[in-house]
Structure 1
Amino acid sequence: MVVVRIIVKIVLLPVRICLTMIQLVVMFFTWLSATVFHILSGIICITAVLGYGFGQETGTEAVRMLVAGFILYILPVLSGWAVVWLETFKIRLME
């Protein structure tokens, strides 16, 4: 039984290496998108609030802009969950 586990770990080694590389790429793009999308979402939300406050936009337009800003803010969070899922999958392969 011990020999079989060692053989399975050796066979799954390339899979673990590929998953590690994919995880690193996803982590880099998560960081990059988080930086860009958080700046954009902040600009959109500030524009929506100030536009409504100064009477340049109606309430529905401001809400639509706030929803768009929230969606841009949440996208990097979702990709962060994908990184955690990949790490969990790698840990399950090690067992």
Structure 2
Amino acid sequence: MVVVRIIVKIVLLPVRICLTMIQLVVMFFTWLSATVFHILSGIICITAVLGYGFGQETGTEAVRMLVAGFILYILLCFLAGQWCGWKQSKSD
């Protein structure tokens, strides 16, 4: 039985390597999109604060922009990172 397990592990080694490479590529794209959304949400929040500070927007519009910036930051970036961590811990 031990010999069969070793043979199966050797035969499935290329599959495991391919799946590891796919996981690394997906993790890279998740990191890249998180970086883009962090920058975008920062720009939105800074625009909201400065727009309200210089009197270009009302308070409700500034709050709406701040909420949109926080949603981009919290929901998309944080939850995607948590999901990747959860999937990685499940695969181990």
Q: Fold-level match, TM-score > 0.5?
A: yes
Letter aligned with residue 78 of structure 1: L
Residue of structure 1 in register with 2:84 after alignment: 83
C-alpha distance in 1 between matches for 2:86 and 2:67 = 26
| Aligned 1:1-95 pairs, distance under 5 A | 3=2, 6=5, 10=9, 14=15, 19-74=19-74, 75-91=76-92
Q: CA deviation at 1:18?
A: 6.0
Give yes or no for contact 1:30–1:80 (8 Å, CA) kept in 2.
yes
Same amino acid, percent of matched pairs? 79
Which is further off, 51-60 or 20-29? 20-29
Deviations 1:23-59 (A, max 9, x none): 3232111211122111111111000001111111111
TM-score by length of 2: 0.73
Change (3 A) 1:22 1:60: farther
Q: CA deviation at 1:20?
A: 3.0
Change (3 A) 1:18 1:88: farther
More contact order relative to length (CA 8 Å, sep ≥ 6): 1
Give yes or no for contact 1:26–1:79 (8 Å, CA) kept in 2.
no
User: Number of matched residues?
Assistant: 88
How well do the aligned residues superpose, as a CA RMSD in angstroms?
2.6
- Partner SS, residue 60 of structure 1: helix
Letter aligned with residue 83 of structure 2: A
The runs of 5 or more residues in structure 1 that have no matched partner are none
C-alpha distance in 2 between matches for 1:62 and 1:22 = 41
